[in-house]
Amino acid sequence: MGVFKADTWGGMCPQDTSLTGAGNDIPPQSEDCLNLNIWTAATSSRERRPVYVFAHGDLQWSAMSRYDGAALAREGLVVVTFNHQVGVFGCFAAPQLTAESEHSASGNYMLMDAIACLRWVRRNIAAFGGDPDRVALAGQSAGAAMVFDLVCSPPAHGLFHRAQADGGVNYPKDPNLTWLAPKYLTLDQAEAKGAAVMEDLGVSTTIQLRAVAASELLTHSNDIGEYTLDGYVFPKTYTETLATGSQIDVPFLTGNNKDESRATPGHAVELATYTANAQSTYGPMAEGFLKLYPAADAAEAGEQTNESIRDDERVSMFLWGRQWSAHATSPVHNYYWTHTPPGQESQGASHGSELNYMFANLYATDLAWTDTDRKIADTLSDYVVNFASTGNPNDAGLPRWRALDVADPGVMEIGDSFERIPLAGTEAKLDFFKP
């Protein structure tokens, strides 16, 4: 199998040292980060294999062992992982940058990097046996947010044909219980933030700005980091795009994990804190919430916190799918990951715990994998290959994964079992979270 691989780290951002070891030791940082990795088992450029382009999460890089694409390549995909600018480097907007842009826009460079990668794939992937007309764009965590945003970005039209977002539907933080898209700034707001940073740095031109050391720019990471309604990458907000049906209408696969969005095994919450959280989160709906998720002590408060978060996660996915499907004709397949990797019982089925299974690359880590883990990886990776190939995760040898049906709510459990499960523990809980 041929591999084109660049091991440079994908951008300048704080490092997540919990990911070191087992092939994840952090490589040197560099602003020269716009590179990609390709895994292919094609023996000729005349082959036309489906292409799987994957965006890594925050505080990560594309050559991490969890993103090793060799197994998926052996199963028939051409796998591409890419690096991109992040944080202050990926989102900096300023009047001077807008003025020099042919699109009169600035900010959103992280997404422009992804678009540049997709354009490169369209021009060049045939040389690696890939089909430029069968490209699946996928991502996890911050990479999932990129996928959700790129389906709303006009410059990305025609560059991908399926979309997969893992761990991208977040726990709602307002009493309307709607799915929350990433936060946007207007171009004026983003430029004002950038101008303030430039003033603090003592620079007034783009030449001077580009001469500032990366380490100095990193001190302003908390000041810059939001997407911008720049009129080019984002002419509309996420909600406005879906409401008008102007998103890129492609088959979509998305889901969440059992132990994320603050849910965690052995969750401990003081009873008074639990009640106060209900009041602050749900306001006038808090009384109804506490009747559905009652707790008499700290142990029950922790259990009910977990149960409510998990119900809300699954319903949130459904609400997003309903919003998406109002104008899109392509199907949505939603999932709920439930399996805990070996040795990670304290974390559970946590954020990102599905990745090694999804890439079928259990060989890339040193966990004590079992036959059960290998079977789960085989099944999940088969779904991924099918989806990238056809836009449908199903085939005759797999448990049937039904597409989202707005008239019949449910979600596909992936992990400890492979079957359709309810969105919430009871109909009353479903009604609470589903307006």
Q: Whose CA is closest to 254, among 344, 349, 136, 175?
A: 136
Q: What is the pLDDT of residue 332?
A: 96
Beta partners for residue 419, in sequence order: 413
Average pLDDT over residues 241-264: 93
Tell me if 68 is assigned to some domain: yes
More confident residue, 113 or 238: 113
The tokens describing 184, both together, are 């946007």
Residues 6+ apart with CB under 8 A from 92: 106, 107, 109, 194, 197, 224
Tell me if 234 is assigned to some domain: yes
Tell me if 225 is assigned to some domain: yes
Q: Is the pTM of this model over 0.85?
A: yes
Please give the torsion angle defined by the CA atoms of residues 177, 183, 187 and 190, in that order, rounded to the nearest 10 degrees: 140
Considering only 121-130, 172-181, 246-255, which range has the smallest mean pLDDT?
A: 172-181
Tell me if 350 is assigned to some domain: yes
DSSP conformation class of 179? P
Average pLDDT over residues 110-138: 97
Q: What is the pLDDT of residue 304?
A: 96
Residue 229 has pLDDT above 80, yes or no: yes
Give the pairing of strands 49-55 and 36-40.
Answer: unpaired
Q: What is the pLDDT of residue 239?
A: 82
Q: What is the pLDDT of residues 268-286, one digit of tens each?
A: 899 999 999 999 999 999 9
Residue 27 has pLDDT above 70, yes or no: no
* pLDDT band for position 226 (cuts 50, 70, 90): confident
Exposed/middle/buried for residue 180 (C-beta within 10 Å: 0-12, 13-18, 19+):
middle
DSSP 3-state of 200: helix
Q: What is the pLDDT of residue 308?
A: 95
Q: What is the pLDDT of residue 167?
A: 81
Q: What is the pLDDT of residue 435?
A: 73
DSSP assignment string, 112-132:
HHHHHHHHHHHHHGGGGTEEE
Average pLDDT over residues 35-51: 95
Q: Which amino acid is at 166?
A: D
The tokens describing 127, both together, are 């040389």
Q: What is the pLDDT of residue 57?
A: 77
DSSP H/E element including 336? strand 332-337
Q: What is the pLDDT of residue 29?
A: 66
Burial letters 198-237, b for 16+ CB under 10 A, else e: beebebeeeeebeeeeeeebeebbeebbebbbbebbbebb
DSSP H/E element including 109? helix 109-124
Q: Alpha-carbon torsion 341, 170, 391, 396, what sign? A: positive
Tell me if 113 is assigned to some domain: yes
Residue 429 has pLDDT above 60, yes or no: yes
Q: What is the pLDDT of residue 20?
A: 37
Q: Alpha-carbon torsion 267, 273, 274, 276, what sign? A: negative
Tell me if 131 is assigned to some domain: yes
Which single residue is written with the structure tokens 């119900």?
Answer: 311
Tell me if 302 is assigned to some domain: no
Q: Alpha-carbon torsion 236, 240, 246, 249, what sign? A: positive
Beta partners for residue 135, in sequence order: 51
The residue segments making up the domain with residue 376 are 2-263+314-425
The tokens describing 412, both together, are 């596909």
Q: What is the pLDDT of residues 293-336, one digit of tens each?
A: 999 999 999 999 999 999 999 998 898 899 899 999 999 999 99
Mean pLDDT (the chain, rounded): 88
Active site residues: 141
Tally the domains of the chain. 1
Residue 176 has pLDDT above 50, yes or no: no
CATH of the domain at 222: 3.40.50.1820
Q: Alpha-carbon torsion 238, 241, 243, 249, what sign? A: negative
Residue 174 has pLDDT above 90, yes or no: no
Average pLDDT over residues 94-121: 95
Backbone angles phi, psi at 190, to 5 degrees: -65, -40
Q: What is the pLDDT of residues 326-370, one digit of tens each?
A: 999 999 999 999 999 999 999 999 999 999 999 999 998 889 999
Q: What is the pLDDT of residue 360?
A: 96
Angle between helices 271-282 and 298-325 (to 10 degrees): 20
Whether 275 and 294 have beta carbons less than 8 Å apart is answered as no
Rounded CA separation 122/85 (Å)? 21
Q: What is the pLDDT of residues 62-87, one digit of tens each?
A: 788 888 999 999 999 999 999 988 88
DSSP conformation class of 350? B
The tokens describing 293, both together, are 């998720």
Exposed/middle/buried for residue 337 (C-beta within 10 Å: 0-12, 13-18, 19+):
buried
Tell me if 396 is assigned to some domain: yes
Residue 22 has pLDDT above 90, yes or no: no
